[in-house]
């Protein structure tokens, strides 16, 4: 049986991800690639605007998660989502600290913020699927 | 927390999906409550009690009370 949950709040959550977060990720990538390709280096206000624009998918995702938590009437599904967020944050924090301490003693590549965000979303997504599968 | 949901549901010949629909929650939620993996909030417990026409304590068993009963 599929572990998929189909509540109205979940449908809205999926729609928002599909129509807000996914296009904003594509737009961000297009902008970053274009800036790099045309060797444009924004300064002052443009640099700030670029930084806001690039961080918009993450901000949008967090806002959409918050909206889902406020709209979802099923308390068990809310608990599962919070549990998955905690897993994501916990694993990301542990990995970041581990990598930082490792970097103090041996030569390791710097862990970028982007890879930390990617790790959070990866663990969060896997955790959602695993918890839903457990209670299928 | 132990409960009699499965028995009450069987008495009415309802599936987990039927009960979930009546409670306006997911079937996973009913499964988690039924197996004691998730304790419902008071509003949901009252909703269950109303649905089955029972008091909350007739559906859910307070394990601590049971332990003190056995000890006493």
Q: Which of B39, B31, B44 is nearest to B62 (CA)?
A: B39
Contact of A7 with chain B, judged by CB distance below 8 Å, is answered with yes
Residue that finishes a domain, picked among A39, A58, A73: A73
Same domain, A25 and A82: no
Q: Which of B36, B26, B5 is nearest to A3 (CA)?
A: B26
pLDDT tens for chain B, 72 residues long, are 789 999 999 999 999 999 999 998 989 899 999 998 899 999 999 999 999 999 999 999 877 666 566 665
Total structural domains within chain B: 1
Same domain, A2 and A64: yes
- What pairs with residue B60 in β-bridges? B3
Same domain, A62 and A79: no
Q: Rounded distance, CA A85 to CA A122, Å? A: 11
Dihedral sign for Cα A44, A49, A51, A54, please: negative
Per-residue pLDDT tens digits for A18-53: 998 888 888 888 888 888 888 878 788 888 888 888
Residue that finishes a domain, picked among A22, A44, A73: A73
CB B59 within 8 A of CB B34: no
Residues of A in contact with B26 (CB under 8 A): 5-7, 74, 76-77
pLDDT for the residue numbered A84: 92
Residue that finishes a domain, picked among A73, A96, A116: A73
Q: Rounded distance, CA A53 to CA A30, Å? A: 12
Residues of A in contact with B31 (CB under 8 A): 135-136
Give me the phi and psi of B39, to 5 degrees please.
Answer: -95, 125
Domain of B42: which CATH number? 1.10.260.40
- Mean residue pLDDT of chain A comes to 87
Question: A98 lies in which domain range?
Answer: 74-136
- What pairs with residue B3 in β-bridges? B60
Contact of A5 with chain B, judged by CB distance below 8 Å, is answered with yes
Interface contact flag, A135 B24, Cβ < 8 Å: no
Q: Nearest chain A residue to B24 by CA: give it.
A: A74
Question: B10 lies in which domain range?
Answer: 5-71
Q: Which of B70, B69, B67, B55 is nearest to B3 (CA)?
A: B55
Q: Coil, helix or strand for B3?
A: strand
């Amino acid at each position: 049986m599929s572990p998929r949950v189909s509540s109205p709040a979940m449908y809205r959550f999926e729609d928002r991800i599909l129509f807000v977060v996914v296009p904003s990720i594509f737009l961000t990538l297009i902008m970053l690639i274009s800036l790099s390709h045309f060797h444009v280096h924004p300064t002052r206000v443009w640099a700030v605007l670029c930084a806001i624009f690039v961080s918009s998918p993450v901000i949008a995702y967090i806002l959409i998660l918050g909206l889902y938590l406020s709209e979802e009437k099923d308390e068990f599904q809310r608990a599962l989502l919070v549990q998955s967020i905690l897993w994501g944050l916990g694993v990301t924090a542990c990995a970041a600290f581990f990598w930082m301490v490792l970097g103090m003693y041996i030569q390791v590549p710097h862990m970028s913020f982007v890879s930390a965000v990617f790790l959070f979303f990866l663990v969060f997504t896997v955790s959602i699927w695993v918890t839903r599968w457990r209670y299928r | 927390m132990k409960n009699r949901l499965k028995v009450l549901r069987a008495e009415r010949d309802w599936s987990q999906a039927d009960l979930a629909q009546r409670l306006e929650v997911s079937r996973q939620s009913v499964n988690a409550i039924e197996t004691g993996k998730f304790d419902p909030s008071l509003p949901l417990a009252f909703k269950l009690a109303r649905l089955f026409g029972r008091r909350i304590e007739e559906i859910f068993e307070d394990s601590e009370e049971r332990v003190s009963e056995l000890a006493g």
